Amino acid sequence: MSTELNRDAHAHLVRVEPSALLREVQRLRTENAQLVHALESRVVIEQAKGVLRERYRLSTEAAFELLRHAARSNRMKIHALAGKVVSSSETPAEFSRVLPPSAPARTH
pLDDT in tens, 22-77: 999 999 999 999 999 888 889 999 999 999 999 999 999 999 999 999 999 999 99
55-85 burial: b if 16+ Cβ within 10 Å, else e: bbebeeeebbebbeebbeebebebbebbbbb
pLDDT of residue 42: 92
- Is 5 contained in some domain? no
CATH number of the domain encompassing residue 75: 1.10.10.10
DSSP 97: G
- Is 27 contained in some domain? yes
| Cβ–Cβ under 8 Å, residues 45 and 79 | yes
Count how many residues are written for the chain.
Answer: 108
- Is 6 contained in some domain? no
Closest residue by Cα to residue 68 from 98, 40, 104: 98
Domain that holds residue 90: 13-97
Residue 101 has pLDDT above 90, yes or no: no
